[in-house]
Structure 1
Amino acid sequence: MTEGSPQDEGRRATRGPAHPDTSADGEVDESFERLLDFLKESRAFDFTGYKRASLTRRVRHQMQQVGVPTFDEYHDYLQVHPDEFTALFNTILINVTSFFRDEDAWAQLIGDIVPALLAGSEGRPIRVWSAGCATGQEAYSLAMVFAEAMGINDFRQRVKIYATDVDEEALAVARQATYPDREMRGLPAGLLEKYFEPVGGRFAFAKELRRNVIFGRNDLVQDAPISRIDLLACRNALMYFNAETQSRIVSRLGFALKPDGVLFLGKAEMLLNHTSVFEPIDLKRRFFRRLVRADTGRAAGAPTGAGGGERRSDSDTQLIGLRTEAFLASPVAQLVIDPQDRLALVNNRAGTLLALGERDIGRLFQDLEVSYRPAELRSQVSAARDNRTTIWLRDVEWHRSASETLILDIQVVPLTDPRGRLLGTAIMLNDVSRFRRLQDELEAANRQLETAYEELQSTNEELETTNEELQSTVEELETTNEELQSTNEELETMNEELQSMNDELQSTNEELRERTGQIGTLNDFMESVLGSLRAAVIVVSAEFVVQVWNRQAEDLWGLREHETVGQHLLNLDSGLPTERLKPLIREVLADPAAVAEVTLDAINRRGRSVRLHATVTALVNGDERSSGALIVLEHPAAPEHAAG
Structure 2
Amino acid sequence: MKQPVPPADAPPTPPNPASGPAAAPAGGPRARAGANKFPVVALCGSAGSLEAFEEFFGALPERSGLAFVVVTHLGPTPYSQLPQVLQNFTPLPVVEATDGLRVRPNHVYVIPPDADLSLLHGCLFLLRPTQPPGHRLPINFFLESLAKDAGPWAACIIFSGLGADGSAGLKAVMENFGMVVAQDPATAAFDAMPRAALATEFVDFALAPAQMPTELLAYAARLQASGGPGPRLPLTTAAAAAQPAHALQKIFVLIRQRTGHDFSFYKRNTMFRRIERRMNAHQIKEFADYVRYLQHNPAEVEQLFRELLIGVTKFFRDPAAFQSLQAHLQPLVLAKEPRSTVRVWAPGCSTGEEVYSLAMLLLECLDAVGHSRGLKLQLFATDIAPDAIDFARAGRYPATIAADVPPERLARFFNLEDGHYQIRKEVRDTVVFALHDVNKDAPFTKLDLLCCRNLLIYLSAELQRNLLPVFHYALRPGGILFLGPSENLTGFQDLFQPLDGKWKISRRLETTALPTRLLNFPFSLSPRPPAAAHPATMPSAAAAARPGGPFAALVQKNLLTAYTPPAVVITPKGEILYVNGRTGKYLEPAPGVGTLNLFEMARDELRVELSGAVHQALQTQKDVTVARARVATATGPQLVRLSVRHLEGPEALAGLLLVAFEDQPTPRRGRRAKGEGPDEGPAAAASRDAAAALDQELQYTKRRLQTTVEEMESSLEELKSANEELQSANEELQSTNEEAMTNKEEMQSLNEELMTLNMQYLAKTEEFSQTASDMKNLLDATEIAIIFLDNNLTIKRFTPHVRDIINLLPSDVGRPLAHFASNLRYEHLLRDAQQVLDRLTSVEANIQTTGGAWYTMRILPYRSIDNYINGAVLTFTDVTALKQLEAQLQETARFADSLQEAVPQPSVVLDAQLCVRLANNAFAEAFGLVAADVRGQPLAALSGGAWNQPALRAQLAQLLDLAHPHDQFDGLALTANFAGLGPRRVVLYGRRLLRQGQPTGQVLLGVEVPSPPA
TM-score of the superposed pair, with normalisation by structure 1: 0.48
Identify which of structures 1 and 2 has the higher relative contact order when contacts are C-alpha pairs closer than 8 Å and 6+ apart.
1
Instruction: Return the structure number with greater helix share.
Output: 1
TM-score of the superposed pair, with normalisation by structure 2: 0.31
Query: Which of the two has higher C-alpha Rg?
Result: 2
